[in-house]
Amino acid sequence: MEFPLQKARGRHPAALVFRTHENPRPSRVSITVKGMFNHSDQHLSVEQYSQAADALHVLSGMLLFEFARHGETALTRDLIVRNFVARADTMVRGIFRLWEIKDYGDCWIIHRALLDRLFHLHALNDKDQFDLFDDWSFKMQYEAANRVRSDPALKGQLKGLVDDLTIERKARYKRLVENHPDWRRPKAEDAAKAMDLTFLYRYGYDYASQHVHPMANDGQEDFFNIIRLEPKPSFPEWGIVLSNSLLVASLIIQEALNASTLSWRRVVYDAVDGVRSFLLSAAPEHHLPLAKVSMMFKEHLPLAHRRESRLDPPQ
Protein backbone atom coordinates (compact mmCIF):
# COMPACT_ATOMS: atom_id res chain seq x y z
CA MET A 1 0.00 0.00 0.00
CA GLU A 2 1.12 3.56 -0.60
CA PHE A 3 0.89 6.41 1.87
CA PRO A 4 1.83 9.83 0.43
CA LEU A 5 2.47 12.36 3.18
CA GLN A 6 1.05 15.82 2.82
CA LYS A 7 3.34 17.07 5.55
CA ALA A 8 6.90 15.97 6.27
CA ARG A 9 8.54 16.92 9.54
CA GLY A 10 11.69 18.74 8.51
CA ARG A 11 13.08 21.74 6.71
CA HIS A 12 12.20 20.55 3.25
CA PRO A 13 8.79 18.81 3.11
CA ALA A 14 8.89 15.94 0.66
CA ALA A 15 6.39 13.49 -0.78
CA LEU A 16 7.14 10.27 1.03
CA VAL A 17 5.79 6.80 0.33
CA PHE A 18 5.56 4.10 2.96
CA ARG A 19 4.45 0.72 1.69
CA THR A 20 2.62 -2.07 3.50
CA HIS A 21 0.68 -5.23 2.73
CA GLU A 22 -2.27 -4.14 4.85
CA ASN A 23 -5.36 -2.31 3.62
CA PRO A 24 -5.57 0.66 6.02
CA ARG A 25 -8.74 2.24 7.28
CA PRO A 26 -8.97 6.05 7.09
CA SER A 27 -7.31 7.66 10.09
CA ARG A 28 -7.34 11.10 11.66
CA VAL A 29 -3.65 11.77 11.25
CA SER A 30 -2.56 14.61 8.98
CA ILE A 31 -1.79 12.50 5.92
CA THR A 32 -3.73 11.43 2.86
CA VAL A 33 -4.08 7.66 2.67
CA LYS A 34 -4.57 6.24 -0.80
CA GLY A 35 -4.88 2.48 -0.53
CA MET A 36 -4.11 0.28 -3.51
CA PHE A 37 -2.63 -3.18 -3.76
CA ASN A 38 1.06 -2.86 -4.36
CA HIS A 39 2.15 -5.55 -6.82
CA SER A 40 5.81 -6.32 -7.35
CA ASP A 41 5.88 -4.46 -10.68
CA GLN A 42 5.13 -1.24 -8.78
CA HIS A 43 8.34 -1.53 -6.75
CA LEU A 44 11.80 -0.59 -7.86
CA SER A 45 14.20 -3.43 -8.55
CA VAL A 46 16.50 -4.70 -5.82
CA GLU A 47 19.40 -3.23 -7.81
CA GLN A 48 17.74 0.20 -7.75
CA TYR A 49 17.10 -0.05 -4.01
CA SER A 50 20.76 -1.00 -3.62
CA GLN A 51 21.72 2.16 -5.51
CA ALA A 52 19.62 4.19 -3.07
CA ALA A 53 21.31 2.42 -0.14
CA ASP A 54 24.73 3.22 -1.63
CA ALA A 55 23.73 6.87 -1.99
CA LEU A 56 22.53 6.96 1.62
CA HIS A 57 25.80 5.35 2.74
CA VAL A 58 27.88 7.95 0.89
CA LEU A 59 25.82 10.79 2.33
CA SER A 60 25.98 9.33 5.85
CA GLY A 61 29.74 9.01 5.64
CA MET A 62 30.20 12.66 4.66
CA LEU A 63 27.87 13.79 7.45
CA LEU A 64 29.79 11.70 9.99
CA PHE A 65 33.07 13.26 8.86
CA GLU A 66 31.48 16.69 9.35
CA PHE A 67 30.42 15.73 12.87
CA ALA A 68 33.98 14.56 13.51
CA ARG A 69 35.36 17.88 12.25
CA HIS A 70 33.41 19.62 15.02
CA GLY A 71 34.24 16.90 17.56
CA GLU A 72 36.27 19.09 19.90
CA THR A 73 33.26 21.33 20.58
CA ALA A 74 30.58 18.64 20.32
CA LEU A 75 27.91 18.49 22.98
CA THR A 76 26.30 15.29 24.25
CA ARG A 77 23.39 15.71 21.87
CA ASP A 78 25.76 15.92 18.90
CA LEU A 79 27.52 12.71 19.88
CA ILE A 80 24.21 10.89 20.28
CA VAL A 81 22.66 12.06 16.99
CA ARG A 82 25.95 11.34 15.19
CA ASN A 83 25.83 7.78 16.48
CA PHE A 84 22.18 7.44 15.48
CA VAL A 85 23.15 8.31 11.89
CA ALA A 86 26.01 5.80 11.93
CA ARG A 87 23.80 3.08 13.40
CA ALA A 88 21.00 3.67 10.89
CA ASP A 89 23.42 3.43 7.97
CA THR A 90 24.90 0.18 9.31
CA MET A 91 21.45 -1.30 9.90
CA VAL A 92 20.32 -0.53 6.35
CA ARG A 93 23.43 -2.19 4.95
CA GLY A 94 22.73 -5.15 7.24
CA ILE A 95 19.22 -5.47 5.81
CA PHE A 96 20.62 -5.68 2.29
CA ARG A 97 23.15 -8.34 3.36
CA LEU A 98 20.36 -10.40 4.91
CA TRP A 99 18.31 -9.96 1.74
CA GLU A 100 21.10 -11.66 -0.22
CA ILE A 101 20.61 -14.88 1.77
CA LYS A 102 16.79 -14.55 1.67
CA ASP A 103 16.57 -13.90 5.42
CA TYR A 104 13.49 -11.73 5.03
CA GLY A 105 12.30 -12.19 8.61
CA ASP A 106 15.43 -10.63 10.06
CA CYS A 107 15.15 -7.82 7.50
CA TRP A 108 11.84 -6.95 9.13
CA ILE A 109 13.33 -7.27 12.62
CA ILE A 110 16.02 -4.72 11.79
CA HIS A 111 13.41 -2.54 10.08
CA ARG A 112 11.47 -2.46 13.35
CA ALA A 113 14.66 -1.59 15.23
CA LEU A 114 15.21 1.29 12.78
CA LEU A 115 11.75 2.63 13.55
CA ASP A 116 12.47 2.30 17.26
CA ARG A 117 15.52 4.52 16.82
CA LEU A 118 13.55 7.06 14.81
CA PHE A 119 10.93 7.28 17.55
CA HIS A 120 13.60 7.55 20.26
CA LEU A 121 15.47 10.29 18.40
CA HIS A 122 12.35 12.34 17.82
CA ALA A 123 11.30 12.08 21.48
CA LEU A 124 14.79 12.99 22.72
CA ASN A 125 14.89 16.07 20.52
CA ASP A 126 11.30 17.09 21.22
CA LYS A 127 11.80 16.95 24.99
CA ASP A 128 15.48 18.00 24.99
CA GLN A 129 16.51 14.93 26.99
CA PHE A 130 19.84 14.00 25.44
CA ASP A 131 21.87 14.56 28.62
CA LEU A 132 19.29 12.70 30.69
CA PHE A 133 19.32 9.83 28.19
CA ASP A 134 23.10 9.71 28.31
CA ASP A 135 23.11 9.45 32.13
CA TRP A 136 20.34 6.82 32.11
CA SER A 137 22.17 4.76 29.49
CA PHE A 138 25.44 4.89 31.43
CA LYS A 139 23.72 3.77 34.64
CA MET A 140 21.86 0.89 32.94
CA GLN A 141 25.00 -0.34 31.16
CA TYR A 142 27.15 0.01 34.28
CA GLU A 143 24.71 -2.08 36.31
CA ALA A 144 24.41 -4.72 33.57
CA ALA A 145 28.20 -5.04 33.42
CA ASN A 146 28.39 -5.20 37.20
CA ARG A 147 25.94 -8.11 37.30
CA VAL A 148 28.24 -10.00 34.94
CA ARG A 149 31.31 -9.16 37.02
CA SER A 150 29.56 -10.43 40.15
CA ASP A 151 28.92 -13.88 38.68
CA PRO A 152 31.53 -16.28 40.13
CA ALA A 153 31.12 -18.59 37.13
CA LEU A 154 32.53 -15.88 34.85
CA LYS A 155 35.53 -14.97 36.98
CA GLY A 156 38.62 -14.56 34.83
CA GLN A 157 36.65 -14.70 31.57
CA LEU A 158 35.55 -11.08 31.19
CA LYS A 159 38.67 -9.40 29.82
CA GLY A 160 37.63 -7.22 26.90
CA LEU A 161 33.94 -8.03 27.35
CA VAL A 162 32.98 -5.27 29.79
CA ASP A 163 34.36 -1.79 30.44
CA ASP A 164 37.06 -1.40 33.03
CA LEU A 165 36.02 0.06 36.38
CA THR A 166 37.94 3.34 36.25
CA ILE A 167 37.86 5.90 39.02
CA GLU A 168 35.91 8.26 36.74
CA ARG A 169 33.27 5.66 35.92
CA LYS A 170 32.83 4.71 39.57
CA ALA A 171 32.43 8.36 40.55
CA ARG A 172 29.89 8.98 37.80
CA TYR A 173 27.85 5.94 38.78
CA LYS A 174 27.87 6.98 42.44
CA ARG A 175 26.58 10.41 41.43
CA LEU A 176 23.80 8.89 39.34
CA VAL A 177 22.74 6.55 42.12
CA GLU A 178 22.32 9.55 44.38
CA ASN A 179 20.53 11.53 41.66
CA HIS A 180 18.73 8.90 39.61
CA PRO A 181 18.13 10.02 36.00
CA ASP A 182 14.35 10.03 35.64
CA TRP A 183 14.08 8.94 32.02
CA ARG A 184 11.85 6.34 30.38
CA ARG A 185 11.90 4.96 26.89
CA PRO A 186 9.21 6.51 24.70
CA LYS A 187 6.37 4.26 23.65
CA ALA A 188 6.55 3.69 19.91
CA GLU A 189 2.89 4.41 19.31
CA ASP A 190 3.01 7.67 21.29
CA ALA A 191 6.13 8.83 19.44
CA ALA A 192 4.55 8.07 16.07
CA LYS A 193 1.47 10.10 17.05
CA ALA A 194 3.68 13.01 18.12
CA MET A 195 5.30 12.94 14.68
CA ASP A 196 1.91 12.82 12.90
CA LEU A 197 3.11 9.55 11.35
CA THR A 198 0.89 7.02 13.09
CA PHE A 199 0.99 4.68 10.12
CA LEU A 200 4.72 4.15 10.74
CA TYR A 201 3.71 2.46 13.97
CA ARG A 202 0.68 0.56 12.65
CA TYR A 203 2.10 -0.72 9.38
CA GLY A 204 5.79 -0.70 10.23
CA TYR A 205 6.64 -1.18 13.89
CA ASP A 206 3.56 -3.17 14.90
CA TYR A 207 3.43 -5.13 11.63
CA ALA A 208 7.10 -6.15 11.93
CA SER A 209 6.52 -7.41 15.48
CA GLN A 210 5.24 -10.68 14.01
CA HIS A 211 8.83 -11.33 12.88
CA VAL A 212 10.37 -10.34 16.24
CA HIS A 213 8.18 -12.57 18.38
CA PRO A 214 7.77 -16.30 17.60
CA MET A 215 4.82 -17.32 15.45
CA ALA A 216 3.56 -20.81 14.61
CA ASN A 217 4.72 -20.51 10.99
CA ASP A 218 8.17 -19.13 11.82
CA GLY A 219 10.76 -20.48 9.43
CA GLN A 220 8.30 -21.85 6.88
CA GLU A 221 9.67 -19.72 4.05
CA ASP A 222 13.21 -20.47 5.24
CA PHE A 223 12.40 -24.19 5.07
CA PHE A 224 11.48 -24.02 1.39
CA ASN A 225 14.37 -21.67 0.57
CA ILE A 226 16.88 -24.05 2.13
CA ILE A 227 15.74 -27.41 0.75
CA ARG A 228 14.11 -26.04 -2.46
CA LEU A 229 11.22 -28.44 -2.20
CA GLU A 230 8.59 -28.13 -4.93
CA PRO A 231 5.87 -27.10 -5.20
CA LYS A 232 6.81 -24.05 -3.17
CA PRO A 233 3.93 -22.18 -1.50
CA SER A 234 3.30 -18.56 -2.43
CA PHE A 235 4.98 -16.09 -0.08
CA PRO A 236 4.71 -12.27 0.01
CA GLU A 237 6.90 -10.05 -2.17
CA TRP A 238 9.13 -8.60 0.54
CA GLY A 239 10.71 -5.78 -1.50
CA ILE A 240 8.75 -3.28 0.55
CA VAL A 241 11.10 -3.85 3.50
CA LEU A 242 13.96 -2.43 1.42
CA SER A 243 12.04 0.67 0.37
CA ASN A 244 10.57 1.32 3.81
CA SER A 245 13.90 0.85 5.58
CA LEU A 246 15.58 3.35 3.29
CA LEU A 247 12.76 5.79 3.97
CA VAL A 248 13.04 5.39 7.74
CA ALA A 249 16.83 5.77 7.62
CA SER A 250 16.41 9.02 5.67
CA LEU A 251 14.00 10.27 8.33
CA ILE A 252 16.55 9.42 11.04
CA ILE A 253 19.18 11.44 9.19
CA GLN A 254 16.80 14.40 8.82
CA GLU A 255 15.81 14.20 12.49
CA ALA A 256 19.50 14.04 13.45
CA LEU A 257 20.39 17.09 11.35
CA ASN A 258 17.59 19.06 12.99
CA ALA A 259 18.56 17.88 16.48
CA SER A 260 22.27 18.69 16.21
CA THR A 261 23.82 21.99 17.28
CA LEU A 262 25.24 22.41 13.78
CA SER A 263 23.67 24.53 11.07
CA TRP A 264 23.75 22.42 7.91
CA ARG A 265 23.87 23.76 4.39
CA ARG A 266 20.58 23.57 2.55
CA VAL A 267 22.06 21.30 -0.10
CA VAL A 268 22.55 18.62 2.60
CA TYR A 269 18.79 18.56 3.22
CA ASP A 270 18.25 18.52 -0.53
CA ALA A 271 20.46 15.44 -0.74
CA VAL A 272 18.36 13.65 1.88
CA ASP A 273 15.22 14.57 -0.05
CA GLY A 274 16.89 13.34 -3.21
CA VAL A 275 17.32 9.85 -1.77
CA ARG A 276 13.64 9.77 -0.83
CA SER A 277 12.57 11.02 -4.25
CA PHE A 278 14.70 8.36 -5.90
CA LEU A 279 12.63 5.72 -4.09
CA LEU A 280 9.57 6.93 -6.01
CA SER A 281 10.97 7.07 -9.54
CA ALA A 282 14.60 5.86 -9.62
CA ALA A 283 15.40 8.98 -11.68
CA PRO A 284 19.18 9.65 -11.48
CA GLU A 285 18.69 13.42 -11.39
CA HIS A 286 17.38 13.11 -7.83
CA HIS A 287 20.98 12.48 -6.75
CA LEU A 288 22.25 15.81 -8.12
CA PRO A 289 22.20 17.42 -4.64
CA LEU A 290 24.24 14.47 -3.37
CA ALA A 291 26.75 15.08 -6.17
CA LYS A 292 27.02 18.72 -5.05
CA VAL A 293 27.62 17.66 -1.45
CA SER A 294 30.27 15.22 -2.65
CA MET A 295 32.06 17.99 -4.56
CA MET A 296 32.03 20.22 -1.49
CA PHE A 297 33.39 17.34 0.59
CA LYS A 298 36.22 16.65 -1.87
CA GLU A 299 37.12 20.34 -1.92
CA HIS A 300 37.18 20.38 1.92
CA LEU A 301 34.33 22.88 2.09
CA PRO A 302 32.33 22.76 5.35
CA LEU A 303 28.88 21.19 5.21
CA ALA A 304 27.87 22.86 8.48
CA HIS A 305 28.94 25.38 11.08
CA ARG A 306 28.35 25.69 14.80
CA ARG A 307 25.21 27.75 15.39
CA GLU A 308 24.34 30.03 18.24
CA SER A 309 20.69 29.03 18.21
CA ARG A 310 18.98 25.81 17.16
CA LEU A 311 16.58 27.99 15.18
CA ASP A 312 19.26 29.21 12.78
CA PRO A 313 18.08 28.57 9.20
CA PRO A 314 20.06 26.31 6.84
CA GLN A 315 22.64 28.05 4.66
* pLDDT (tens digit per residue) in 190-241: 999 999 999 999 999 999 999 999 999 999 999 999 999 999 889 888 999 9
What percentage of residues in the chain have a pLDDT greater than 90?
71
Q: Is the pLDDT of residue 311 over 90?
A: no
The structure's pTM equals 0.85
Of 312, 267, 311, nearest to 290 by C-alpha is 267
Q: Which of 107-111, 114-118, 195-199, 288-292 has the lowest mean pLDDT?
A: 195-199
Beta strands in the chain (DSSP E): 262-264, 304-306
Q: pLDDT value at position 25?
A: 30
Sequence-separated contacts (24+) of 176-181 with Cβ below 8 Å: 176/135, 176/138, 176/139, 177/139, 180/139, 181/132, 181/135, 181/136, 181/139
Q: Which of 21-30, 65-74, 136-145 has the lowest mean pLDDT?
A: 21-30
